[in-house]
Amino acid sequence: MALTRKMLKAMGIEEEKIDQIIDAHTETVEGLKEEAKGYKADAEKLVGVRKELDELKKDGGDWQSKYEKEHADFEAYKSDITAKETKAAKAEAYRALLKEVGISEKRIDAIVKITDIDGIELTKEGKIKDAEERTKGIKEDYAEFITTTEEKGADTAKPPVNGGNGEVKTKEEIYKRENGRYVLSASERQAELVKLYQSEKGE
């Protein structure tokens, strides 16, 4: 199902955020179209391969094994593009959910990066199946990245869980254990991973 303004409005998303979601979705679709062109070109090559196989068959060559290999490669191409389209749809749905919860725009890419997108299930309408449960998890794990809007229209970030010192921890520090247990809680580790990812990107 196509991602439309009507669908996003029905989800209760603000007009400004709808524009951002549509723009991101358009970029994803355009990227997939370019990949599809490449797969189409590969599919057209099969026509020439079949002609070669016919010639090999006449000459008594090993035409069958070559045909089977080319056919298997083509099927793999189709499966790959289907998987990419599915993952892109899941990522967009998750981005929309993050925005709906109120996650800061600057943090969304980092959160999507460390999220198991493949583990997300969508309904026939393209919505996340366990949206309510995921929303609860997002609010718990990324509370410090949720912004609230004041009456004057400015976004005010909630105070960070770690006290707001802005320090970026290393992976070793994030997963440090004492007495067989992690020093940081699961939500704190998630938040620190987001910061680490953004620092590596230079944001």
Which residues touch 121 (CB under 8 Å, ≥6 apart)? 128, 129, 130
pLDDT tens track for 104-163:
888 888 888 888 888 888 888 888 888 888 889 888 888 888 886 544 444 444 444 444
pLDDT tens per residue across span 42-92: 777 777 777 777 776 665 556 677 778 888 888 888 888 888 888 888 888
Q: Is 98 exposed, middle or buried (0-12, 13-18, 19+ CB in 10 A)?
A: buried
pLDDT recorded at residue 203: 57
Q: Which residues of 13-30 are buried (b: 16+ CB within 10 A; e: fewer)?
A: beeeebebbeebbeebee
Other CB atoms within 10 Å distance of the CB of residue 94:
21
Q: Model-level pTM? A: 0.46
pLDDT confidence of 4, banded at 50, 70, 90?
Answer: low
- The CA distance from 31 to 37, in Å, is 10
Q: Are 94 and 131 in contact (CB under 8 A)?
A: no
Give the three-class secondary structure for 3: coil
**Domain definitions of the chain by residue range:** 5-158
- Cα 57 to Cα 71: distance, rounded to the nearest angstrom: 16
